[in-house]
Amino acid sequence: MRPLLLPLLASPLLALVACGPHHIPGTDLEDTGDTRAIIDVIQKYNNALVAKDAAGILALVDPSFHDTGGTLAADDDLDYAKLKAVLPQRLARLSDIALRMDIKTIDVKGDAASAVYTWVSSFKLANRAMTESDIKRMDLKRTASGWKIVSGI
């Protein structure tokens, strides 16, 4: 009787495992079309930043973009128009950019999403080598042309 018991118990467990969420290989991120599209946006942002491609970054940003820069002071806030004006000058001051972004979570709720990621960068600013690391959050929204960044760059 015991040999029959194991297959009877194993079948429902296998069915539960098979029906669980699938994850993107090497991550804890659920494998959905939205998750993959958001990862693609973040990867394009990463590549554009390393390439100092202001137009490439702006193509990923929604016109409703607003970022507080992580402070309460309003003088460092960015909206789309200000980002468009300052981004080329800020990128021009940097050289030898290396950047790694590791996405930890992506949370999609309807047409809004947020991604939490670790950021490790090295670059030169005025010929001075700099390294930064942080945990950041990027907020995105679904548009007719795909996911766009609304804050967190």
What CATH number does residue 117 fall under?
Answer: 3.10.450.50
Question: Is 21 part of any domain?
Answer: no
Asked if the structure places residue 12 within a domain, the reply is no
Question: What's the whole-number mean pLDDT along residues 91-95?
Answer: 92
Residue 115 has pLDDT above 70, yes or no: yes
Bigger pLDDT: 5 vs 130: 130
User: What is the mean pLDDT of the segment spanning 87-111?
Assistant: 93
Once rounded to an integer, what is the mean pLDDT over residues 25-48? 89
Q: Taking residues 20-30, report their average pLDDT.
A: 74
pLDDT tens digits, 73-88: 777 789 999 999 999 9
20 lies in some domain: no
Lowest mean pLDDT among 28-37, 106-115, 135-144: 28-37
Do the domain assignments include residue 74?
yes
Residue 13 in domain: no
User: Is residue 21 very low, low, confident or very high in pLDDT (cuts 50, 70, 90)?
Assistant: low
Assigned domain for 126 exists: yes
Question: Which band of pLDDT confidence, cut at 50, 70 and 90, is reported for residue 151?
Answer: very high
Q: What is the count of structural domains for the chain?
A: 1
Asked if residue 94 belongs to a domain, the reply is yes
Give the range among 70-74, 80-84, 134-138, 144-148 with minimum mean pLDDT. Answer: 70-74
The verdict on residue 5 lying in a domain is no
Q: pLDDT tens digit string along 45-75?
A: 999 999 999 999 999 999 999 988 767 777 7
- pLDDT at residue 55, as a whole number: 97
Residue the block writes with tokens 């945990």: 135
* Domain limits for position 114: 31-151
Indicate if the pLDDT at residue 114 is higher than 90.
yes
C-alpha to C-alpha distance for 105 and 115, rounded to whole angstroms: 6
